Amino acid sequence: MLHENPPAQYPLNHPIPLPKAPMKDDDPFVDRQGILAGSVRLTIGRVGQEIDVSGAIDSSRVYIPGVTVVIAPDAGIASDIAATRIVEVLRESGSRGLGTATGGTMGPIWQRVHAQIASDAALDLQSLFTVGLDEYVGLSPSSPQSYHQEMRSRLQPLQRFGFRSEQIHLPDTWDDKTGRPKSPQQLREECFRYEALVHSLPLRLQLLGLGHDGHIGFSMPWSDLHQRTHISDLSPKTRAANARFFSDDLDAVPKQAVTMGMGTLSAMAHRGTELLLIATGAQKADAVRDALFGMISPGCPASYLRLLPNVTFVLDQKAAGDLLGGVLEAPNPLISQPLRDMTS
Ligand code: GLP
């Protein structure tokens, strides 16, 4: 059942409601999108130290229509940058929707979010809702390894601002009535329900992690890049990478998940949702390189993000790998002089 097709009642032209995100004319996204068209912007260090390297890209070899790449000196600062953006979103009064991601990368980010807002007496999160990328099939929502449980625990400190666990949305893959995983038919119905839900809730920001093999959420390499929320057969590499959350017992790692597809993220991005991908650590360097400079291909789902507006990658130096090595040390076809001036 590899790469299951969307359910029959869910053709590509299904009229899923796509309400316009309530954004103002002076919204920073709009500016950012305009500035970035046709360029890649590399930022090194903290937010604010920006060098525009438009035109330094050999477009015959790489194609990056508009990605902001922020390279932080270390994972802590990368987490700070992501946390700062999340806090901005939480503080925007008109912004109620936040798309969440799971995985180890997100832990330090949420710790920093909680630290940054700790003394913010005015923050009111009663109307916030969060929408997660994915959930395993085969785990009950109370299982410690389920993404329901991960998000409840990551967001628990928001309760003092009026946020309740009922405001957390994730694919429901468990049948409470039978106490068993949902059947294939129920899961297909859940995909349809979740896709519609995602598009009925205007999200300001969608967080993304990055799988070692370039997957996003649980959209696996070689799955259809136009797919909406679907049932995903997890690749052996993904299951092996995630075994660390299951006491290294590979057999305990579920074989399937329900996940937003790249088509879901594309629809979001085109209506104004900012996509913020965070990758830290040397083990992500290959996936980062493939995502930013490889072929845009289903073989690396993250590469597809280069075709979308409103996309930012926040990397630490280790995840940036060759990209940063090239930037700082070698004569490099990608980078022009000003960046070296800044770092000398
Ligand atoms: C899982 C999640 C992804 C996440 C990835 C990387 O596969 N479904 O959403 O991006 O793990 O997680 P980590 O941050 O632990 O490397």
| pLDDT, tens digit, 9 for 90 and up, residues 23-68 | 333 333 322 322 222 334 444 433 333 333 333 333 222 334 467 7
Q: Is ligand 1 within 6 A of the CB of residue 280?
A: no
Q: Is ligand 1 within 6 A of the CB of residue 220?
A: no
Distance 328 CA to ligand 1 centre (A): 29
Percentage of the chain beyond pLDDT 90 is: 60
* Nearest protein CA to atom 6 of ligand 1, as residue: 211
- Partner residues linked to 136 by β-bridges: 257
Nearest atom of ligand 1 to the alpha carbon of 218? 8
- Write the DSSP string, 153-207: HHHGGGGGGT--GGGEE----EETTTTEEPPHHHHHHHHHHHHHHHHHS--SEEE
Strands 97-100 and 205-208: parallel
Q: Is residue 7 over pLDDT 70? A: no
Distance 102 CA to ligand 1 centre (A): 6
Distance 163 CA to ligand 1 centre (A): 25
- Extents of the domains making up the chain: 66-343
Distance 242 CA to ligand 1 centre (A): 8
Nearest atom of ligand 1 to the alpha carbon of 245? 15
Q: How high is the pLDDT of residue 48?
A: 33
Q: How high is the pLDDT of residue 316?
A: 86
Strands of the sheet with 256-259, listed across from one edge? 134-137, 256-259, 230-233
CA 297 – CA 241 distance, rounded (Å): 22
Q: How high is the pLDDT of residue 2?
A: 39
Distance 73 CA to ligand 1 centre (A): 22
111, with CB counted inside 10 A (0-12, 13-18, 19+), is middle
Contacts by 157-164, CB closer than 8 A, 24 or more apart: 157/114, 158/114, 158/125, 158/128, 161/117, 161/120, 161/123, 161/124, 161/125, 161/126, 162/124, 162/125, 162/126, 163/125, 163/126, 163/128
Which of the listed residues 109, 133, 139, 215 should we mutate to test ligand 1's pocket, taking the one with most ligand atoms within 8 A of CB? 215
Closest to 334 in 3D by CA, of 59, 36, 44: 59
Q: Is residue 295 over pLDDT 60? A: yes
Q: Is residue 305 over pLDDT 90? A: yes
* H-helix or E-strand spanning residue 282: none
Q: Is residue 20 over pLDDT 70? A: no
Q: Is ligand 1 within 6 A of the CB of residue 205?
A: no
Higher pLDDT, 194 or 313: 194
CATH fold for domain 66-343: Rossmann fold (3.40.50)
Mean pLDDT of the region 92-114? 92
Give Cβ neighbours of residue 292 (< 8 Å, ≥ 6 apart).
Answer: 40, 64, 67, 69, 303, 306, 313, 323
Q: How high is the pLDDT of residue 248?
A: 96
Q: Is ligand 1 within 6 A of the CB of residue 134?
A: yes
**E strand map for 62-165:** 66-72, 97-100, 129-132, 134-137
Nearest atom of ligand 1 to the alpha carbon of 106? 14
The answer to whether 322 and 286 have CB atoms below 8 angstroms apart is no
Which of the listed residues 233, 242, 255 should we mutate to test ligand 1's pocket, taking the one with most ligand atoms within 8 A of CB? 242
* Nearest protein CA to atom 11 of ligand 1, as residue: 103
> How close are the terminal C-alpha atoms of the chain, in Å?
54
CA 54 – CA 227 distance, rounded (Å): 32
* Nearest protein CA to atom 13 of ligand 1, as residue: 103
Q: Is ligand 1 within 6 A of the CB of residue 108?
A: no
